[in-house]
Amino acid sequence: MSPSEPPDQRAAVVIPAKNEAASIAATVRACRAIPRVDLVVVVDDGSTDDTQCHARAAGAVTVRHSVTRGKASALETGASIVAMRDYSDGPSRLLLFIDADLGDTAAACSELVPPVLDGAADMAIAVPPKQVGAGGRGRVVRAARAAIASATGWAPVAPLSGQRCLTREAYEAAAPLATGWGVEVALSIDVLAAGLTVIEVPCDITHRVTGNDRAGKVHRATQYRDVLRAVAARRLRGRRVRGLDEDTVRAQSPFRAYRAVRED
């Protein structure tokens, strides 16, 4: 344990889930094995299957939206549940956002906790290996990367990664979260706009990918639309930054932490 590492700092996992009965139990069990995690919250976002039951049986605290409200709303609900537990249990936990379809590989997200725990970053983002069977030509990823770079000067490797560990301060800087599939891009812009630090960390995770069928194309089109909406909203709110600084977080890692200074 590093000298700056709080000995009692805990982390809470928040998993937004819709119709993930097949994978949610494995994901929850893997998350419970992550060091420092003492709370796993699954937000069932209007599922029509047994997602909530499987999550609860695997050891998660569960809450259900009676109708589908979207990923951002599910994350906000989960973060609120964690805040209520923090109020009664002690200091604020780190928040670890994890997608429901990771299964056993969710355990690899343990790599996101140390940089935030050590104070080297306010938010750590997982960079997964190339996923087998992924469709599309990377248009949405390139658009998301360009949008973040335009707003902050930083071009992330994985701008759409949903696996993120962040402090409560970083979360509050981005609240309310952007709706739809623009939530990750908006998180990066808002956290940097607040003058906080972001790092990307390689994580050996596997998730479900969209193919080149009609459903996959519709999904990517929706992603593209939501990313553009999130960026446009931040431009209207004046979320722009300047003076990007770089610091190597760990000598053995090619990934760097970035901190941006908000414009006056």
Q: What is the pLDDT of residue 214?
A: 64
Q: What is the pLDDT of residue 250?
A: 41
Prediction pTM value: 0.86
Q: What is the pLDDT of residue 115?
A: 95
Q: What is the pLDDT of residue 67?
A: 96
- 11-262: CATH, from 3.90.550.10, 3.40.50.11750, 2.30.60.10, 3.50.30.30: 3.90.550.10
Helix 214-236 vs helix 183-193: crossing angle, to nearest 10: 30
Q: What is the pLDDT of residue 234?
A: 76
Q: What is the pLDDT of residue 177?
A: 93
Supply the DSSP string of 119-165, one letter for each residue.
TS-SEEEEEPPPPTT--S-SHHHHHHHHHHHHHHS---S-TT---EE
Q: What is the pLDDT of residue 181?
A: 79
Q: What is the pLDDT of residue 180?
A: 80
10-residue stretch averages of pLDDT, the chain, 264 residues long: 65 97 97 97 97 98 96 96 89 96 97 96 94 65 89 91 97 91 91 94 83 61 77 66 47 59 55
